[in-house]
Structure 1
Amino acid sequence: MNFPRVISNARHIALLFTGDRGRSVSPSFEYYQNRSLRGFTSAANPHRVATRNSTVRQVPLYQFLTSRSSSFKAMCKPNSVLVYTGGNDSLYSDIRHRLSFLLPPDEITVFNVSIQALKKQPWAEKSTVCVILASTNDLDDEAWEKIQAYFNQNGKIIFVCQNKLLASITGCDSSKANASILRFAFGSQNNKLKDTNKEFVKFLEKNMKKLPKSTAINETFRSKDVSVGANFTVVLKKEPDAPLFLYMQNNGSLHASALFSDATTQQLIAPNSNLLKDSLRSVGVNVCDTTMPPLTKGILIAEYDSIIESIAGLRLGEEIGLQPRILLRKSDVVEELGLPEATEKLLPIEVVNRDSDAGTSKNFDFNLYFEQIHSKIGQVVLLVDVATTTMDIIESVNAGIPSLESVVVIANRQISGRGRGGNEFLCPRGMAMFNFSFSISKKSRIAKHLPILQHIFCVALVEAARNLSGYPEFPLHIKWPNDLYCERSHKVGGMLLQCSTRDDSFRVSIGCGMNVSNDKPTMCLNDMLPKEAETRITKEQLIAETINKFTYYMKDYEDNGPETFKKKYHEYWLHSQQEVLLSDFNERVTIRGIDDDGYLQVRSKSNPDKIFSIGDDGNTFDMMKGLIRHKY
């Protein structure tokens, strides 16, 4: 792994990276370009500046974050359930599908954790509410030590891997082998746990003899080796016509800390079974009966009706694009033929006029949005009330209608939101969730520094939120490389940038999820306003103003170079002069800023003459622990 990057070297990175309505004449491209710049000058729009200045006031930091009830404490980041399947993606998919009907959809994320992440990443955090081990493949002593440490910190573990655990109790001739269950909970401390092993073997021998004669069992074993860390209680339980369960509980805990079963994985996750639900509840995970909302059709609308009419290659009435395929029909055809149901494979879209009833939505104010937008990007909106993910939709639109570069895809809710590294991203109603794409000539200045685009977007988002809030010191900041935080504590948003190449240009797609008015899973922008704030931030205005600012700063970088922009970025970020540890090299460094590409520029503490840059491809910045490490 090439972790540090010398700043003189060239870098190449693969980025995943109510007004007048129904207007019929579309302004020229130059009009939008000029209006985008005029929107940021007082001479061009004195009313806009006067309006903002009238609400701008200096507020001490401690007065922010007071709009929530004093009894409510927001989580710093969403709770999570980790699932280990030993690399079996099909098994993970089955477990994840079952969990989608059991976990609160706006509160808990689910991660498919690899063996490398299980051993190397600091996953045993307060936000990890449970670990589901669905396989013991590749779990060596190093992995078991991490699992043991998590258990000893009152971590919750559910074993749904029948093959090597309780199945051995009912199917193994050697009762001594049954004590291996302690190793699964406590690693390779066989000598220290010698006495406990003997007592546990006797406990199992005694109770397993009862099973053939009894349809039910409920017995408890309490450890005696407290001095070596074996401070736990074991409950062996079987109901009539039900699998055998073993609950292992840290003494003093209100819930089971580990749960074993001789049920098969498929028994536990069967749709008509309550076994997994009861197992989650037994270890203290908040479960509920969850119904996923159905996917909905899309609405394609433009600031001016003639914009859509002039789109080259707009194919109506046929399925185009990638997945989901998109099917566009104008409103008059929809009245006659209707639209098919939305699925994960097909997104039906109604093309509507600004002044029509079809061009309204109770969950998104198009007028408010179009009044705020000043950029050519964003003059066309594809709104989907419930979508899979806007990332997939924008890719499908790009493939099916390459000429439609001014569209922004917006969802009121996503059921398959993705973040960096393919991780799940919770997307409840109240968030601003949007994607847009554009092309950049390979001859341009910014094309030589593509990674900087994600930082330009973060600056645009912070500045948009501050302007709309009316408070210059609004406590929204950038955590490198692509997260947005309230101060240094609560994550409130993130962005993702993808890039592909075509002929003489790059195609860039930017996606964003930002908590605006949702009270879960952490906190939102409106929670960050003082109680006396006269205005509230809306997702319509935030999306439009962010695109405005992004267009402005991208042009400024192209015309004037990086220095002015970097100064603005450093004003908004959290890391100036922060000392961190490069964990893979055990080297302490001081952060100096970002370089022209947006990589972290750092100075070695042991060798002050050594200055180098760190890319974000494959690395993650644990701000709370002050370290940068490889992300598995």
Structure 2
Amino acid sequence: MIISIGYVLLLFFKSWTDRRRRNMLSQAIKKGLGQGSLYIQRLGEGAMSRSRATEIARSALVNYRQNVSEAPLLEWGDLMLTNVSPMQTIYLGSWTDYYHPSAEPPGQDDVTVLIEASRPSDLGKFLQHEFQVPPESKIHLMSLGTMEAWHSGTPFGILVTCSPESLVTLAIGLVDNTLTLEEDLEVHSIMTVQTEGRAGSLFMNPEIDVTEAPANNYNQSSIQMLPDERPMKDKILASFIRKNQDQVSDMWSNESLASTTDIAKLDMLSELASVDGDNVVDGSFLETGSGEGLSEFEAVETSSVQSCPMGDSQKLEPLGKPPNVLIYTGKIDSVRKFDRVKKVLEQCLDVEKYVIYHLKHEDIDREPWIDNTILLVLATKKKYQDSHAAFMQYFMSGGRILGFGSGFDTELLGQTMVRPENWITQLNYGGWTDVSLISGSYVYDVNDVRLEGSHVASIGIDKDNHVSMAKVTLERKDVVSCAILSQVLLDKEADDLGVTPEIFNTLKKSNSDRFEILTDLLTNLGIDCNTRAMPVQTPAVLLATSEDVKAKFFNSIKHRLSSGVLKYGGQSLLFTEDTTAVVENSLLPVLMAGRKYGESFSLSVYKKSLGAKVLGNTVFFMEVVPTTMTILDGLLFSVPDDIGLIVVARQQTSGKGRGGNAWLSPIGCAMFSLHVRIPQNSNLGQAVSYLQHITSLAVVNSVCNMEGYEDTDLRLKWPNDIYYGHHMKLGGVIVKSTIMDGIVHATIGCGFNVDNSNPTICINDIVDMVNKEQGTQRPMFTTEQLIARTVTEIEALIGQFQKEGVDSFRKMYYDKWLHSDRVVRLESENDLEVTVRGLDDFGYLLVETDGGEKISVQPDGNSFDMMRNLICLKQR
């Protein structure tokens, strides 16, 4: 009894002490914020000298000054909190962005914190301590804020945005030695900082001295020049200086991982169209099956108009355009409005065939969207004359427009105000009668045709016989333009209005009719509305080329598991033999036994086709996953050198491509993310940009190196696309890299169309076509077979590159690429005409001016638009 009472008192005292310490620390941090940087350290064994702190800060590129307040803000046991003034500044030129596709914007009171860590001097002692700390007592850094950027070397630096309350928790974890980074790194200091510039890529531009840490600079890494060619460089970059004074990025990256589905930076494609797991032409904003470039359709003539049972209306066959649907919602509250309209459209059209993007007002004249859009949805009543010219240009080029009470309507048709805004109408449309829907203020005058030569038809009327919907068509030679204008606001939900319960119920009763009508309108505009439910993410199945490899992998990560869970950022992995486990929030089960979720992947076919010694010998297979690119993030530095990790997906729901492009990933597309290690001081380590070229060539070789398939017309388009001939894209590549202890850890994301004929073309389509033409019976490919063969080729090409250098690889690459000696324009202020000469030593595109000056163009966001003989430079 006495022991129990003593135990309770002890717990009470500990709880009281912890609360008191937290309150005192919270008050000290609140007091110190805004008075320079807060510097938090552990005294005693973990204490750090002032000179050591200065050395660490300088090595992390912090503008460190030794103006430390004389009296610390707080001393409590082994913890000391001090002010360092002024606020310390980190220049982000040599830092690398974290990839967090769904990060929340920082809160008003959030602070930026520099966490510095290093490899423990006594790893055994460190690991022993890690095991002794109960899992429930560990404080995981990545659960307390948003990882913004990292800096390799000693010390290892991480920038985190977090709340002041989370900063208190970090400080407690530091002093209690319970703060963990999951990567055998020991935290030794915490400091609040401010940042300048922009974190970017991994490899230093040799022309820039980062020690100068310029406060304002433009991104010079997007176009690199040979050392003796500065005059031309100045001309080409002149237009960038004015636009990018606030951006600093002294390093390059294969990938700019944006997190939005905006139009982002359009990857204009060449005179070749394209195909990536789902595809596109001219260069849409879309990236598909394979990821990297934009997916494309082969350009085809606009299809003929067919009669439709809907009276005077006409049903148009699908266009041969990229499967991009753009939504324009004006200037005010546009993001919220876009999300609302997108949600409605996703319930009607085939989400596996189309990608929906936000056309922002500022992008109308800046981004080349007109030739890359299959449908433009206008959902704002505001009239912005500066946008109407572009919308008219799109319409006249054969575009399809769907307007919901749009201010653009008056460019095509007269209208009259009859009611106040957002009133309830009873619509009669086709076979639907008296459907209660939300309407705008106007009705149309079908006799007041504003565009000469156009045909206007009434397709929907209200109970007072006012025209509420009209269809405007314009036929000119081989071009058919079509716009459906609607004052019935089919994009609005019942709960978008502050209505009475009676009206709300009335609108809800008509909701199914609303979607049926919208679906019919989209169909008559040539949009495929065979909707499919979005598949649910499934667990991963751990497979390997042998049981020994599988056991070795698991043994290498056991020390990091807590109750079977490996925590890392937003994605935690649960290694389990429970085949009934399901995905919950950010916890992804990895099934160690059983094939409940892996039946569609043939391990035997994969193993038979895999000739690599290391790469791809350990497989995470997933039936459905948002994206394969993040699954391996928490494992890269933990597995031994003879374990080659690969993630293979049957289907992706939120695939990511280069520059933030969306990436359609249907069943039948080969999709994988592969981990490779490259010594930084090796041939390839000094030119890591070549990894994307190696992977692209590996995909081509996986087919063309097979007996009977040597003449398959597969080609390469810079920077990272796989083509059939000159017009159809079959795949693409995306690479993100991290450096740790002199090793470049790269995750290669690759996807290419193998057995998915829609929406464009696949490799098996080509095989079937040749079989019919030549009377042959060549077997079709499987995704497992070509993924394994591609991984084998990647390992072989890397080995050859390391042994023989860049010249040997370039000879093989040029044999398959599409650009040699092509004369193109370099899109800049002066639109210089240049000739493509090849790849430079870093893997950048090498072009030459008429005057003989050579220019190297980095692949990060820059691309070919061969339909216009143009190299499009990414706007920074």
TM-score range, shorter chain: 0.7 to 0.9
Q: In the alignment, is the contact (CA less than 8 A) between 1:437 and 1:508 conserved in 2?
A: yes
Aligned twin of 1:204: 416
Q: In the alignment, is the contact (CA less than 8 A) between 2:735 and 2:749 conserved in 1?
A: yes
**524-533 vs 436-445, greater mean Cα deviation:** 436-445
Aligned twin of 2:536: 294
- Counterpart of 2:759, as a letter, is P
Aligned twin of 1:579: 823
Equivalent residues in 2 for 1:527-606 (5 A)?
527-529=765-767, 530-531=770-771, 532-584=776-828, 585-605=830-850
The alignment partner of 2:326 has SS state of strand
- Counterpart of 2:588, as a letter, is L
**521-530 vs 310-319, greater mean Cα deviation:** 310-319
Aligned twin of 2:581: 340
Q: Distance in 2 between matches of 1:393 and 1:213?
A: 48
Q: Distance in 2 between matches of 1:499 and 1:523?
A: 31
Aligned twin of 2:665: 427
Aligned twin of 2:447: 222
Q: Distance in 2 between matches of 1:502 and 1:135?
A: 50
Shift of 1:225: 5.8
Shift of 1:128: 2.3
Shift of 1:93: 3.9
Alpha-carbon RMSD across the aligned residues, in angstroms, is: 3.7
Distance change (3 Å), C-alpha of 1:117 and 1:242: farther
**338-347 vs 306-315, greater mean Cα deviation:** 338-347
Q: In the alignment, is the contact (CA less than 8 A) between 1:391 and 1:511 conserved in 2?
A: yes
Q: Distance in 2 between matches of 1:299 and 1:578?
A: 47
Q: Distance in 2 between matches of 1:481 and 1:546?
A: 18
- Counterpart of 2:355, as a letter, is T
Shift of 1:345: 2.6
Distance change (3 Å), C-alpha of 1:267 and 1:509: same
TM-score between both structures, scaled by the size of structure 2: 0.55
Distance change (3 Å), C-alpha of 1:99 and 1:145: same
Shift of 1:471: 2.3
- Counterpart of 1:484, as a letter, is I
Q: Distance in 2 between matches of 1:401 and 1:241?
A: 72
Aligned twin of 1:616: 859
Shift of 1:351: 1.0
Aligned twin of 1:29: none
The alignment of Structure 1 onto Structure 2 pairs a total of residues equal to 528
Aligned twin of 1:80: 324
Distance change (3 Å), C-alpha of 1:216 and 1:393: closer
Shift of 1:294: 2.2
Structure 2 residue aligned with 1:444, among 682, 688, 691? 682
Shift of 1:522: 0.8
Distance change (3 Å), C-alpha of 1:291 and 1:213: closer
The alignment partner of 1:438 has SS state of strand
- Counterpart of 1:471, as a letter, is Y
Give the strand-richer structure, 1 or 2: 2
Q: In the alignment, is the contact (CA less than 8 A) between 1:81 and 1:130 conserved in 2?
A: yes
Aligned twin of 2:719: 481
* 1:358-413 C-alpha deviation (Å, 9 max, x unpaired): 39944221011112222201001110011111112233554887989511100111
Q: Distance in 2 between matches of 1:551 and 1:492?
A: 22
Equivalent residues in 2 for 1:33-44 (5 A)?
none
Aligned twin of 2:601: 364
The alignment partner of 2:416 has SS state of helix
Q: In the alignment, is the contact (CA less than 8 A) between 1:222 and 1:234 conserved in 2?
A: no
Q: Distance in 2 between matches of 1:148 and 1:467?
A: 49
Q: In the alignment, is the contact (CA less than 8 A) between 2:617 and 2:643 conserved in 1?
A: no
* 1:48-76 C-alpha deviation (Å, 9 max, x unpaired): xxxxxxxxxxxxxxxxx9xxxxxxx9997
Shift of 1:130: 0.6
Unaligned regions of 5+ residues in structure 1, if any? 18-64, 66-72, 166-179, 186-195
Distance change (3 Å), C-alpha of 1:477 and 1:326: same
**2:744 paired with 1:506:** yes
Q: In the alignment, is the contact (CA less than 8 A) between 1:223 and 1:233 conserved in 2?
A: no
TM-score between both structures, scaled by the size of structure 1: 0.74
**2:349 paired with 1:99:** no
Q: Distance in 2 between matches of 1:214 and 1:472?
A: 64
Equivalent residues in 2 for 1:355-434 (5 A)?
358=595, 361-375=598-612, 376-398=614-636, 406-434=644-672
* 1:150-198 C-alpha deviation (Å, 9 max, x unpaired): 11223122234x6x74xxxxxxxxxxxxxx7425x6xxxxxxxxxx8xx
Aligned twin of 2:227: 8
Q: In the alignment, is the contact (CA less than 8 A) between 1:223 and 1:232 conserved in 2?
A: no
Q: In the alignment, is the contact (CA less than 8 A) between 2:541 and 2:597 conserved in 1?
A: no
Q: In the alignment, is the contact (CA less than 8 A) between 1:377 and 1:407 conserved in 2?
A: yes
The alignment partner of 1:565 has SS state of helix
- Counterpart of 1:121, as a letter, is E
Aligned twin of 2:590: 349
Q: In the alignment, is the contact (CA less than 8 A) between 1:386 and 1:411 conserved in 2?
A: yes
**2:752 paired with 1:524:** no
Q: Distance in 1 between matches of 2:633 and 2:826?
A: 35
Q: In the alignment, is the contact (CA less than 8 A) between 1:233 and 1:251 conserved in 2?
A: no
Q: In the alignment, is the contact (CA less than 8 A) between 1:300 and 1:380 conserved in 2?
A: yes
Q: Distance in 2 between matches of 1:243 and 1:429?
A: 46
The alignment partner of 1:310 has SS state of helix
Identity percentage over the alignment? 25
Q: In the alignment, is the contact (CA less than 8 A) between 1:159 and 1:258 conserved in 2?
A: yes
Unaligned regions of 5+ residues in structure 2, if any? 1-218, 230-249, 257-297, 299-316, 429-442, 497-510
- Counterpart of 1:497, as a letter, is V
Aligned twin of 2:33: none
Q: Distance in 2 between matches of 1:291 and 1:359?
A: 21
Aligned twin of 2:235: none
Structure 2 residue aligned with 1:146, among 381, 386, 390? 390
The alignment partner of 1:558 has SS state of helix
Q: In the alignment, is the contact (CA less than 8 A) between 1:83 and 1:133 conserved in 2?
A: yes
Q: In the alignment, is the contact (CA less than 8 A) between 2:416 and 2:445 conserved in 1?
A: no
**2:763 paired with 1:493:** no
- Counterpart of 2:865, as a letter, is D
Structure 1 residue aligned with 2:485, among 233, 252, 259? 259
Shift of 1:219: 6.2
Aligned twin of 2:59: none
Greater relative contact order (CA < 8 Å, ≥ 6 in sequence)? 1
Distance change (3 Å), C-alpha of 1:213 and 1:470: closer
Shift of 1:498: 0.9
- Counterpart of 2:224, as a letter, is R
* 1:14-46 C-alpha deviation (Å, 9 max, x unpaired): 2216xxxxxxxxxxxxxxxxxxxxxxxxxxxxx
Q: Distance in 2 between matches of 1:406 and 1:561?
A: 23
Equivalent residues in 2 for 1:177-256 (5 A)?
181-183=409-411, 200=414, 204=416, 220-223=445-448, 229=452, 231-233=454-456, 235=458, 237-239=460-462, 245-252=468-475, 256=482
Distance change (3 Å), C-alpha of 1:287 and 1:572: same
**2:716 paired with 1:456:** no
Shift of 1:230: 6.7
Q: Distance in 2 between matches of 1:213 and 1:290?
A: 31
Shift of 1:476: 0.8
Shift of 1:434: 0.4
- Counterpart of 1:222, as a letter, is N
Structure 2 residue aligned with 1:323, among 564, 567, 570? 570
Distance change (3 Å), C-alpha of 1:236 and 1:468: same
- Counterpart of 2:846, as a letter, is Q
* 1:535-561 C-alpha deviation (Å, 9 max, x unpaired): 222211211111111111112222221
Shift of 1:278: 4.6
The alignment partner of 1:572 has SS state of coil
